[in-house]
Amino acid sequence: MMAKVTKSEGEWRAQLTPDEYHVAREGGTERPFSGRHLAEKRAGTYRCVGCGLPLFDAAAKFESGTGWPSFTRPIEAGHVEEHDDRSLGMRRTEVLCARCDSHLGHVFPDGPPPTGLRYCMNSASLTFEPSER
C-alpha cells in the first residue's frame, strides 16, 4: 500500500490553481475540449497535479473524441484507485490518485485494445513531463 499524502485545505488551495482545486479536491470536471493536455502529442509522463505521482505514459494516450485526455491504462495499476460513483444520476467508476486522493476523472469500458478501457482524465488533475528522447 502506498503512503498517503495529506494536506490541509489551505495547503491544497495554496498549491493548486482554482480550476485545479475544483477538479482535484472537489471532484469537479473541466469543460470538454478545454483542457491544456488534450492536444499534447509529445512522449512523456502525466503526473498527479497534487503530489507528482506518475499516472499515465503518453504512449497509452489516444484520441477518444470525447474532449478529455484519454488513456488505455495507468502507468502502474497501484498508482490509481477506482471507486463506484453514483453522482449526477449515473453509475460510473471514478479514478483517484492512489497517493493523495486527487480526483482524476472516470474509467469507461469503451476504449481501444489492448485493454478496452478509456481512462477519461481531466487536464486540471495532471501535469505533463516530456521525455528527453
Domain ranges of the chain: 9-130
For residue 88, the model assigns a pLDDT of: 66
Phi, then psi, of 100 in degrees rounded to 5: -125, 5
**Whether 48 is catalytic:** no
Q: What's domain 9-130's architecture?
A: Beta Complex (2.170)
Residue 57 has pLDDT above 90, yes or no: yes
Of 79, 70, 80, the closest CA to residue 40 belongs to 70
Range scoring the smallest mean pLDDT among 49-53, 64-68, 99-103, 129-133: 129-133
Whole-structure pTM value: 0.94
Considering the candidates 48, 51, 97, 120, report the single residue annotated as catalytic.
120
Q: Which residue has the cell 475544483?
A: 22
Of 53, 54, 68, 65, the closest CA to residue 107 belongs to 68
